[in-house]
């Protein structure tokens, strides 16, 4: 599966979990237009990236144990801030380009996001 497709599915998964409208595994898979086995692989990927997901039997929905949000992309930050950032999965540096300041990149699951109240 391509990285873009995986990223899009993780964003959809994140949105439905934050809205607390996933339903059970079968309903959740239908909403994402994937099979249940693909859903479980996607949930495993999210967990490997740091998502703390569980199924709430009372509400019949998947939830984050702590408020969080999936973010993926590149953000220019200085080296000091890179070391101070919390909730990161992996980080590194972009190559030093001639005449350019050295930049770092960041890929993270943000645990500082607050879930909106409905």
Domain regions of the chain by residue span: 3-64, 69-110
Say how far apart CA 73 and CA 88 lie, in whole Å.
12
Q: Does the reported pTM lie above 0.85? A: no
64 phi and psi, to 5 degrees? -85, 140
At the top level of CATH, which class does the domain 3-64 belong to?
Answer: mainly alpha
Which pLDDT score is estimated for 115? 47
Spatial separation of the C-alpha atoms in residues 109 and 68, rounded to whole Å: 7
Q: What average pLDDT values come out for the chain (118 residues) when binned by 10 residues?
A: 87 94 96 96 93 95 91 68 52 49 48 48
Looking at residue 77, what DSSP letter applies? B
């Amino acid at each position: 599966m391509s990285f873009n497709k995986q990223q899009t599915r993780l964003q959809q998964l994140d949105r439905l979990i934050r809205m607390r409208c996933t339903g059970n595994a079968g309903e959740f898979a239908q909403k994402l237009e994937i099979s249940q086995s693909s859903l479980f692989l996607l949930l495993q990927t999210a967990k490997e990236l740091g998502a703390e997901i569980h199924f709430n039997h009372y509400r019949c929905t998947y939830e984050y144990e702590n408020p969080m949000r999936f973010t993926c992309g590149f953000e220019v930050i200085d080296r000091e801030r890179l070391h101070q950032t919390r909730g990161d999965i992996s980080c590194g540096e972009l190559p030093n380009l001639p005449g350019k300041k050295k930049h770092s990149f960041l890929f993270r699951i943000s645990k500082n996001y607050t879930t909106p109240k409905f």
